[in-house]
Structure 1
Amino acid sequence: MRIDPRSHTPIYIQLADLLREKIESGEFAPGSTLPSELQLSQEHQIGRESVRMAVALLRSEGLIRTSRGRGTWVREALQREHIELTPGSSAIARMPSSRERREMDLDEGVPVIEIRGPKGEVYVLPGDQTELIRP
């Protein structure tokens, strides 16, 4: 798959699709480092902003992690915790506070799930590691 600048699909989406395909095929295995922003830009002859946007998209999908000074790497497959909502409970997805992001070690763009129990108790769980089940 090549990046087609004449396509109606934005360049950053094309690059994200290409990288996602390589991750899903195992070409970029969990834990492996992705090429740098500069390398991807040069290899695909696209602007660095398009690379940044593609990386941000994949990060928001939970496929990759980035760290200043360490680069970008493929995340290990996440184990999801199954939470059964009890009658009278409610759940919403929202963006975490800075403190919640730090405490849960969440990547930017990953939401949290806030569950309110029938007695008003509140639980906040990482959205990329939680699956809600209705009874």
Structure 2
Amino acid sequence: MPIDPDSYVPAYQQIADDLRGRIESRELPPGRKLPAEDRLADSYGVGKDTVREALAQLRSEGLIRTVNRDGSYVREQIEPDVVQLQGPARIRTRMPTPEERRRFRLDEGVPVLVVEAAGELRILPGHDTELEIPPPR
């Protein structure tokens, strides 16, 4: 599917939008390897740098992961771990440090949650954590 050269939307964004739609519709299901960059470039009628920008966009959204020298894959959707918080809590997101990325095995673009509750500081992977605060009694 070639991109629309007359569009005001950048070519890389058109490609990312197309691939995102194919991932969301499951035409490209979780675990599926995407075509190689040169094949994608040919099919969209663009250069490989434009395809790389589109793939970087999808990685930053957590939709794909790229394995060095192997290719890009549609990410599996992970069932979240539910973490219950008690009392007042402060929660913020940030990008992980290199050590946190290794420890949690995070792909590029996946944030961590910094949770301060009950006098405890916890760092949790953002892609598979759901926070639950029970209603007051």
Alignment TM-score > 0.5, same fold: yes
Cα pair 2:2 2:43 within 8 Å, conserved: no
Match of 1:91 in 2: 91
Any idea what SS the aligned residue of 1:76 has?
Answer: coil
TM-score (norm 2): 0.89
- Percentage of pairs with the same residue: 46
Match of 2:124 in 1: 125
Match of 2:39 in 1: 39
Give the 5 Å matches for 1:58-97: 58-97=58-97
Give the letter for the 1:24 counterpart: E
TM-score (norm 1): 0.90
Cα pair 2:65 2:108 within 8 Å, conserved: no
Residue deviations 1:68-100 (CA, integer Å, cap 9, x gap): 022111111111223333222211100100010
CA-atom RMSD, angstroms? 1.5
Any idea what SS the aligned residue of 1:49 has?
Answer: helix
Any idea what SS the aligned residue of 1:79 has?
Answer: coil
Any idea what SS the aligned residue of 2:21 has?
Answer: helix
Deviation, structure 1 residue 113 = 0.4
Residue deviations 1:7-47 (CA, integer Å, cap 9, x gap): 11111111111111111222212111101111111111112
Between the two proteins, the alignment pairs up a number of residues equal to 134
Cα pair 2:2 2:45 within 8 Å, conserved: no
Aligned pair 1:16/2:1, yes or no?
Answer: no
User: What is the distance in 1 between the residues matched to 2:37 and 2:2?
Assistant: 17
User: What is the distance in 2 between the residues matched to 1:2 and 1:90?
Assistant: 47
Give the letter for the 2:75 counterpart: R
Match of 1:29 in 2: 29
Any idea what SS the aligned residue of 1:83 has?
Answer: strand
Structure 1 stretches of 5 or more lacking a match? Answer: none
User: What is the distance in 2 between the residues matched to 1:73 and 1:130?
Assistant: 22
Match of 2:105 in 1: 105
